[in-house]
Structure 1
């Protein structure tokens, strides 16, 4: 009886230690709060790009003009290093949402610059089009598109 009780107490202590160790690895409340960001799209004029911070990275939200949307769709069949249709990169064609980190070495590209009028990375010269697809330079992949959804009129939730 005494040996069984000692084993039960020891097993309970080990269980508590394991659970405490696991809980220390879970995200804290302040980190979880940064998991999503809500953006008011009414503050971004047509043809402009806003940059916000999400999970420590810049996210570029571009309010595309009809000409930019048409140019992005027209280039769907172009010879691209990382082929991806514009329709698969956007939920609403009017809004492009990409993580503003160059896929070459992690610099932050400049919006409305470069040979295709999309994004230009000043570090090593990668050019991206108005859909965030790499067109020229050393970058191997397109700009990453984060998970996002549109809620009520004029709101965007990233994350």
Structure 2
């Protein structure tokens, strides 16, 4: 004989039990959840960086050919990167500036690696509108503060690549980098 379910959900003996409708609801919600995960995971995964982007995530730079007072231009993540070996005079000029008087206050120590104060690594992109400043190449205009000069709108940076004059709101960006030896760095 088939059992009869009462309207209140109790069985013939009056006991509460898992109703068939409850099981179907739970199964439907579970199935929908699994389906949603199957759709969402590939969408999230496609936001991960591709292999070619990951390959550009770090860039090694050889410092052995850079003499004191010289700079090189290279690229990092498809943007210009300036690497300069500061002279003792340039370091002294940067150190004598009171950082609290600057628009974007930073000391040279904050912009370099401990014990390697002579190596200044910055992105070669003006913080005003993204032009490439002069000063890294031989004979280029370094501006009145001896660092970098942006020809687009006249921003001048000092020897520590800190903004000193012009419309740029911030110092040239210092990317994350580390020394892999005394003559090589890894940027990124």
The two structures have a TM-score, normalised by structure 2, of: 0.77
More displaced, 76-85 or 57-66?
Answer: 76-85
Q: How does 1:72-111 map to 2 (within 5 A)?
A: 72-76=94-98, 79-91=101-113, 92-111=116-135
Q: Which 5+ residue runs of structure 1 have no aligned equivalent?
A: none
1:8-42 Cα offsets, whole Å, 9 max, x none, are: 55433321111111001111111011111111110
Give the RMSD, CA atoms, in angstroms. Answer: 1.9
Matches within 5 A, 1:18-97: 18-76=40-98, 79-91=101-113, 92-97=116-121
Q: Is the 8 A contact 1:60 1:99 kept in 2?
A: yes
Q: Work out whether residues 128 and 134 of structure 1, in 8 Å CA contact, stay in contact via their aligned partners in 2.
A: yes
2: CA distance between counterparts of 1:136 and 1:10? 60
Confirm or deny: 8 A CA contact 2:99 2:106 kept in the other structure: no
Which of the pair has more CA radius of gyration? 2
Query: Whose helix proportion is higher, 1 or 2?
Result: 1
Unaligned runs of 5+ in 2: 1-19, 137-141
Q: Which has the bigger relative contact order, CA under 8 A and spacing at least 6? A: 1
TM-score by length of 1: 0.90
Q: Does 1:136 align with 2:165?
A: yes
